[in-house]
Amino acid sequence: MRRRVVITGMGAITPLGNTVKELYENQLQGRSGVGAIQAFDATRFPTKFAAHIKDFDLARYVPAAERWKYSGVNTRFAVAAAQQALADAGLLSHDRGDRTRFGVYLGSGEGIQDFQNLMSLVAHAYDPQARKLTVAQFCREGMNAFHAECESEQELHTTAAHIATAFQLEGPNYNCLTACAASSQAIGEATELIREGEADLMLSGGSHSMIHPMGVTGFNLLTALSTNNEEPQKASRPFDQRRDGFVLGEGAGMLILEELEHARRRGATIYAEVEGYGTTADAFRVTDSHPDGRGAAACIRDAMKDSGLSLEDIGYINAHGTSTQVNDRVETLAIKKIFGEQAYRIPVSSSKSMLGHLIAAAGAVELITCVMVMHHGVLPPTINYEYPDPECDLDYVPNVAREKRVRHALSNSFGFGGQNITLIVGLPA
């Protein structure tokens, strides 16, 4: 019999709040986290806005926060969200038993946004005469700068390593970076590890920020970002006919995944069960989804098969919903291919209309939203939905939150390069 996997803790650092509660409540209010880019001078860029994290101080979440002073923002966001999730699950002080059965699987991005600052730090550290440092101080600060530079170069895995070290999680340790699908894939693969008996607990999710000159430049060159600089809070408008691209965001979402009987034995609060996981590749173009939605549809189909649910069981879909012309049309088509006429009866909303696109962290934060929907019975809206697109003709919960009891929810994540992930969660029986 396949082992069942449940969610027993959650944590979030997002443009709509730095806790799960703040995230969900602000989504229900239809608030936008978008504003002018603060990380650098963007006045000469085609896109001058993004969805930044606000009022973030790692010291509010963990003691000795200075140990991550030289780490990238990905790591700092991840540590804070991980601490929240572990505390929520009652695992910060709980006897975890065999630590080699508690692992980490993240979808975490690069730390290039810190590269320029780190180079300044290196130059500063290696000017002992101007700073009148002792030889010992010079060596110590130079080594700190070197370690920071190395972390920026190797950020793909150091975040997972930092999490494991900080919280003494000695089980399987992985990181994947399948672009916008990364944290959803991490959660799916972490679920498989528990199902197959390779672990009993996994801390899984993602952390990312691409709000830096290279990130904005790259997406502008791809014409993927909105350039609605006049009304940035209305720029992310998934499924709306006037959509012109997505909005960059940043943040982290972390979940504690746990084998059901293990959770029951320790009296854990069980928020949801991970019921289905599907993963496919478009095998089409690196920069475009397949126009007939075949990869996305196959992914949804596989997740449904894995869950053992009927089409009528799905009460809510949290869409990938990026606010790009192609993605929104293809996702709508894929949903209709799988659900048929039932697709018109399932409410679909896009958290990215408010959060922006958290890239590698997006899927984890959106899955947390699904869990909150099932527990509170209120669907977050898709804001800025004003002009219906004939090709996007589903119920997108336009502009205003809606009450609805949901027992099973589906979350889509479709990544750059054609990576497709679908996760299905449900209230445990």
Say which of 208, 212, 290, 357 is annotated catalytic: 357
Give the Å distances, CA to CA, from 359 to 252, 338, 354. 10, 25, 14
Segment (H or E) for 265: helix 260-265
- Rounded to whole angstroms, the Cα distance separating 426 from 6 reads 9
Q: How far is CA 249 from the centre of its chain?
A: 10
Give the Å distances, CA to CA, from 64 to 61, 82, 114, 253, 310. 10, 15, 21, 22, 49
Sequence letter at residue 401: A
Backbone angles phi, psi at 388, to 5 degrees: -60, 140
Tell me the sheet residues that pair with 105.
174, 204
Active site residue 139: no
Angle at the Cα of 84 from the Cα atoms of 61 and 210, rounded to 5 degrees: 80
Active site residue 320: yes
Q: Decide if 252 contacts 361 (C-beta within 8 A).
A: yes
Tell me the sheet residues that pair with 413.
421
Q: Decide if 175 contacts 159 (C-beta within 8 A).
A: yes
Active site residue 180: yes
- Residue 423's contacts (CB-CB under 8 Å, 6 or more residues apart) are 184, 187, 188, 274, 276, 277, 303, 363, 367, 410, 411, 413
Q: Decide if 106 contacts 174 (C-beta within 8 A).
A: yes
Q: Decide if 328 contacts 219 (C-beta within 8 A).
A: no
**Which DSSP string corresponds to 62-89?**
STTGGGGTTS-HHHHHHHHHHHHHHHHT
SS3 call for 237: coil
Number of H helices, E strands in the chain: 13, 14
5-13 and 272-281: which strand pairing? Answer: antiparallel
Say which of 162, 176, 180, 408 is annotated catalytic: 180
Tell me the sheet residues that pair with 250.
209
Say which of 162, 212, 320, 408 is annotated catalytic: 320
Q: Decide if 46 contacts 35 (C-beta within 8 A).
A: no
- Rounded to whole angstroms, the Cα distance separating 252 from 76 reads 9
* Active-site annotation, residues: 180, 320, 357
